[in-house]
Amino acid sequence: MNPPEQETETLTTPEPERTAPHPVPPAQGAPAPAPPTKAEAHPVRVEDLNAYYGSVHAVKDVSLTFEPNRATAIIGPSGCGKSTLVRCINRMHEEIPGAHAEGTITLSGADIYAPNVDVVSVRRAIGMVFQKPNPFPTMSIFDNVASGLRLTGTRSRDVGERVEKSLRGAGLWEEVKDRLSSPGIGLSGGQQQRLCIARTIAVEPDVILMDEPASALDPKATLKIEELVQELKHRFTIVIVTHNMQQAARVADYTAFMLGEGGPGSLVEYGETDKIFTNPEDPRTEQYVSGKFG
Ligand code: ADP
């Protein structure tokens, strides 16, 4: 897994048909829109992943597939490598000085670490939402969502429509439609996080990585994010790191349990969320989900 050299290529996946979970209402007299169809998302395959910070081995031998149109939770005690794993999936890990990763990660079969793959196109295809909402502080609500679109060369006459569609998709449009030119940082924490989700989906990624997206939010705002995850998985592949096991049980179709046990974090068990929480194979999973440690 070496950063690309010389010329770069854009990472391409077959373009799925997208439908907004909250379609724009029709003009008066126009026919009602068709119900949203499930767009085909793309799988992410991680094989034999090892990640390091200098000589510190943080993630060991992780192999796992994140299924398309599903939400997969990554759970495990603090320090077991959950964030490191997701940062490898959109090549942010390599931005940390001294950090590197080994192994293979593919998006719909395309190696995201292949030489000459453009890292910017990887991050466009695999978007990320962080623990702390991070709207661009000097930008308006509109410009926060439009920023990625402008960078990707969206025609300016299409930008407004895409911003509205993204804000609707993030469940924020009704709350902000009358103040689009106000600063993004003037919103509440939960609204800021949905603004960041709108910014992420505006560029139509294939995958959305969420690293503890609700851990800085109050219960009501958390619920909104969880409802949003349920909506978004109809269009995207969702990976969500969470400390909150109830949250994993509520939103995730599949759950991956990681553990460090004093060394690098590895995958202990992966399966359907119901099974992981009610009838896991590994006794360490049972102990963790029943709150005996962590
Ligand atoms: P988690 O998300 O499960 O809490 P992390 O992926 O953040 O775990 O961390 C995994 C391991 O990597 C931990 O031992 C942590 O101390 C180490 N680590 C994380 N970030 C860095 C960093 N920037 N530099 C050095 N070590 C790090």
Q: Closest by alpha carbon to 62, among 257, 273, 202, 281?
A: 257
Q: What confidence tier does 26 reach under pLDDT thresholds 50, 70, 90?
A: very low
Can you read off the two tokens belonging to residue 133? 């909402």
Please give all residues whose beta carbon lies within 6 A of any atom in ligand 1, as ranges.
53, 56, 58, 76, 78-84, 96, 265
The confidence score (pLDDT) of residue 24 equals 31
Top-tier CATH class for 44-289 = alpha beta
pLDDT of residue 5: 47
Tens-digit pLDDT profile for residues 240-264? 999 999 999 999 999 999 999 899 9
- CA of 32 relative to ligand 1 center, distance in Å: 49
Q: Name the DSSP class of 282.
A: S
How many residues make up the chain in this entry?
294
Residue 7: predicted pLDDT: 57
Exposed/middle/buried for residue 108 (C-beta within 10 Å: 0-12, 13-18, 19+): buried
Helix (H) or strand (E) holding 174: helix 173-176
How big is the CA angle at 125 (ends 121 and 128), to the nearest 5 degrees?
110
| Pairing status of strand 71-75 against strand 237-241 | parallel
Please report the atom of ligand 1 found closest to the CA of residue 211.
2
pTM metric for this prediction: 0.89
The domain spans of the chain are: 44-289
C-alpha separations of 123 from 22, 50, 54, 237 in Å? 25, 20, 23, 14
**Helices of type H across 79-140:** 82-89, 119-125
Backbone angles phi, psi at 94, to 5 degrees: -70, -10
Residue from 49, 50, 53 whose mutation best tests the ligand 1 pocket (most atoms within 8 A of CB): 53
Q: In what order do the strands lie in the sheet with 237-241?
A: 126-129, 207-211, 237-241, 71-75, 254-259, 266-272
CA dihedral 134, 234, 215, 209 (to 10 degrees): -60
Q: Give the angle subtended at the CA of 38 by the CAs of 252 and 159, to the nearest 5°.
A: 100
> Tell me, what's the pLDDT at 43?
96
**168-226: pLDDT as tens digits:** 999 999 999 999 999 999 999 999 999 999 999 999 999 999 999 999 999 999 999 99
